[in-house]
Amino acid sequence: MSEGGALLCIGVAIILGLIISLVYIFSDKKKKYSAHFAFTLALLPSIVCVVIMVVGSDIARAISLGGVFALVRFRSVPGDSKDITNVFYAMVVGLTAGMGYVTLAIMVTVIIGALYFVLNIFQFGARKSVTKQLRITIPENLNFNGAFDDLFNEYATSFELERVKTTNLGTLYELTYAIDMKTGADEKQFIDAIRCRNGNLNIILCKMPEKLEQL
């Protein structure tokens, strides 16, 4: 590849990387995107593009591609599946530009970017109800089996007892539930009703801790 062609590929990869980064930023309706991750997406296509152009031969290219894609594992541990998708998206664009397929790289960026943006905006696959974690402390003499079921049926669409733990040297129990609250349910009234059952001991209703997502 000539120097002019190489500069063209790198320039296109830089522009496409910025577009990918902007798609990631503006498709996040809750504005909770990571600035560091957006920075990474902007640079990743151009970096991969240079790697592919430097490698040259087909055999070496195959080996290098295996190593580059293996690096995605480091991102997959702390991130979620959408972050991994963005990494693959940026890498594919960089690979395509690095191999000289500039038009194809632009087409991939536009088509996949538009699809990613639309699916995010319309919350494709998102659950209508949010699962929360409810932790109730009860005295040891209270039978927890079915003790709160009537309240759960009134204020929640579904619930599940996930863990029972003894505390305070066995004098108290801590019950952990996964619960889907009904739309418009009054959480304060719900908690007040539980307080009347558990002797006004600790009650915690919070967002369900995120589980590690992997491909």
Cα–Cα distances in Å, from 158 out to 130, 131, 135, 186?
Answer: 11, 9, 15, 16
Condensed to tens digits (0 to 9), the pLDDT of residues 1-52 reads: 677 888 998 999 999 999 999 999 988 877 778 888 889 899 989 988 888 8
Of the options 3.30.70.240, 1.20.1250.20, 3.40.50.11540, 3.20.20.140, the CATH number for the domain spanning 131-207: 3.30.70.240
Ranges of beta strands (E only) in 97-139 are: 131-139
CA 86 remoteness from chain centre = 11
Higher pLDDT, 29 or 73: 29
Identify residue 13 by its one-letter amino acid code. Answer: A
Task: Grade residue 212 by pLDDT with cuts at 50, 70 and 90.
Answer: very low
Q: Where are the domains of the chain?
A: 3-121, 131-207
Average pLDDT over every residue of 95-111: 91
